Amino acid sequence: MTLDLSAYLKRIEFAGSPSASVADFQKLHLAHATHIPFENLDILLGRPIRIDLESIQAKLVHARRGGYCFEQNQLFAAVLQNLGLKTTYLAARVRFRVQKTLPRTHVLLLVEIDGDNWIADVGFGTVGILEPMPLIERQESFQYGWTYRFIRIEGTWILQSLQKDGWLDLYGFTLEPQEFVDLEMANHYVSTFPQSRFVQTLTAQTSTTAERRLLRNFDLIIDRGGESVTTTLRDQDELLSVLAEQFDLQFTAGTRFQIAGAFGTG
């Protein structure tokens, strides 16, 4: 299936026809990151996550839903490739607040423009980048209320976010290209393995340039770049209201997500 570029541009509210320039690449990335939510809700409704372009477009573009990295970055890669930009899938190990080595379950994009390498990633949720970053070690990227950089340790590139107490690792990756079959395998793991956080925890996230909203099970967290407020929701009816009002994710009344160990799942 081919990309429906006009429908995608309408979805992210991008005016005009984008070119393969750095400026339009940056604008597309920001528009995508601030218009299409990060979410895993289908998993908790017992639905499979399909990452072929037809399924992704049907869900994220035409049904106005969100998705996680394998959906988000696959869609964005199709857009960049449509513009003629060389785009390569890379795999990362998540390092964000973990104490053990995890498998490579995050996909991001290496994009070449005018001989320079950039990292694009519209699929890491509210702690991720809003704008693409040149792949340059220790060059800080100031993105509204958030700051990022790459460091390199023994051949591994690490994306870091600046926090109050210093730099925090988000994920580590190498420049080894990944094929679609690699993405299929990792997507199957994160969407079906019983210990996967995407199987265990409801997640919906959305970002603007002013604030980032995270719904984790029944906790709604709003981060404004250093200041965060948490509200605990009462039940799944309020959950549905918050998904609609805060994340523009619409579900029919009475929808119930299977959230392991949480109240209100009936």
Q: Dump pLDDT digits (tens) for 14-60.
A: 999 999 999 999 999 999 999 999 999 999 999 999 999 999 999 99
Q: Flag whether pLDDT at 75 surpasses 60.
A: yes
Mean pLDDT of 141-153: 96
pLDDT digits (tens, 9 = 90+) for 148-205: 999 999 999 999 999 989 999 999 999 999 999 999 999 999 999 999 999 999 999 9
Q: Pull the structure tokens for residue 35.
A: 């218009």
d(CA 257, CA 216): 12
DSSP string covering 182-202: HHHHHHHHHHH-TT-HHHHS-
How far apart, in Å, are the Cα atoms of 189 and each of 63, 73, 121, 172? 25, 17, 20, 19
Strand order in the sheet with 86-94: 133-134, 116-120, 104-113, 86-94, 166-173, 156-163, 146-153, 141-143
Q: What is the pLDDT of residue 261?
A: 55
E strands in the chain: 38-39, 86-94, 104-113, 116-120, 133-134, 141-143, 146-153, 156-163, 166-173, 203-207, 212-216, 219-223, 228-232
Q: Flag whether pLDDT at 266 surpasses 90.
A: no
Neighbours of 133 (CB within 10 A): 20
Neighbours of 1 (CB within 10 A): 11
d(CA 78, CA 143): 24
Cβ neighbours of residue 45 under 8 Å, at least 6 residues apart? 255, 257, 258
Look up residue 165 and give its DSSP letter: T
Q: Are 181 and 188 in contact (CB under 8 A)?
A: no
Question: What fold does the segment set 5-194 form as a domain?
Answer: Arylamine N-acetyltransferase fold (3.30.2140)
**pTM score > 0.85 for this model?**
yes
E strands in 2-96: 38-39, 86-94
Question: Which are the catalytic amino acids?
Answer: 69, 106, 121
In terms of residues, how long is the chain? 266
Residue 100: pLDDT band by 50, 70, 90 thresholds? confident
Q: What is the pLDDT of residue 227?
A: 81
d(CA 9, CA 17): 9
Q: Are 145 and 210 in contact (CB under 8 A)?
A: yes
